[in-house]
Amino acid sequence: MKYFLMIFIVLFVSSCSVKKTDYSGEYFRIVKGGKYALFNNKGEQLTKGVYENSTYPSEGYIATVKNGEWGYLDRAGNEVIPFRYKRASPFHNGLAIVYVSENKMGFIDKNATFVIPPKFEFARHFSEGIAAVEKDGKWGYIDRNGKPITSFRYDMVSNFKNGRAKAYIQEANNTLICDIYKNGIEKCYLKN
């Protein structure tokens, strides 16, 4: 029944000159005239079709774009975090990455309070309580308080998994591969 309803909705909306349909398994986005609307798998419309982009709901919030700025809606389509960011990510573990300018980003909580101020060029979501962030063109790792657990010296990094992450340093013709542990200890070796 659920799939029949979705097929019906997609066909109905398709007859209305919809340009694109995008399905995540639980939600789907429909783009019409360059504007996004989000529906759940029951066919209920969650957001109005007035947004220039949107993500899928994450932890009850939907990152969306209105008039060129990102903000957040709740699942009922109510604005819960004002549209004032240059870019924004979905929430993960209670935090979202937001850009206040092209190369300045930080982490906000669900009250739009900066938990980690916007001072990084790029970031990945927290994994096992640690996030990879880029500063001055180099990567390092921070804890949930924004405190660095490593120096910013890596060219490529991975997220933490099972208490460890991989980081790479390119030096002339050599690549150093580093195992980074959650306490900041690193073990590096030359790639053969």
pLDDT of residue 12: 40
Nearest one of 21, 26, 24, 25 to 37, comparing CA atoms: 21
Both structure tokens of 62:
């939907």
Q: Which phi and psi (to 5°) does residue 61 adopt?
A: -120, 145
pLDDT of residue 176: 93
Q: Which CATH number fits domain 2-148: 2.40.30.260, 3.40.50.10540, 3.30.310.50, 2.40.10.360?
A: 2.40.10.360
**Biggest distance spanned by C-alpha atoms of the chain:** 60
Q: Which phi and psi (to 5°) does residue 94 adopt?
A: 80, 0
Cα separation of 76 and 12, whole Å?
22
Q: What 3-state class would DSSP assign to 39?
A: strand
Q: What are 130's strand-pairing partners?
A: 127, 143
pLDDT of residue 192: 66
Cβ–Cβ under 8 Å, residues 129 and 163? no
pTM exceeding the 0.85 threshold for the entire prediction:
no
DSSP state of 92: B
User: Quick check: 15 pLDDT over 50?
Assistant: no
Distances 43 to 5, 11, 123, 148 between C-alpha atoms, Å:
7, 12, 34, 45
Pairing relation of β-strands 122-123 and 156-157?
unpaired
pLDDT of residue 10: 43
When mean pLDDT is compared across 33-37, 108-112, 185-189, the lowest value belongs to 33-37
Q: What 3-state class would DSSP assign to 185?
A: coil
Helix extents (H) in 52-112 = none
Q: In the chain, pLDDT over 90 holds for what percent of residues?
A: 65
Give me the amino acid identity at 18. Answer: V
User: Quick check: 113 pLDDT over 90?
Assistant: yes
Predicted confidence (pLDDT) per residue in 63-99, tens digit: 999 999 999 999 888 999 999 999 999 999 999 999 9
Both structure tokens of 86:
């240059």
User: Quick check: 25 pLDDT over 70?
Assistant: no
pLDDT of residue 167: 97
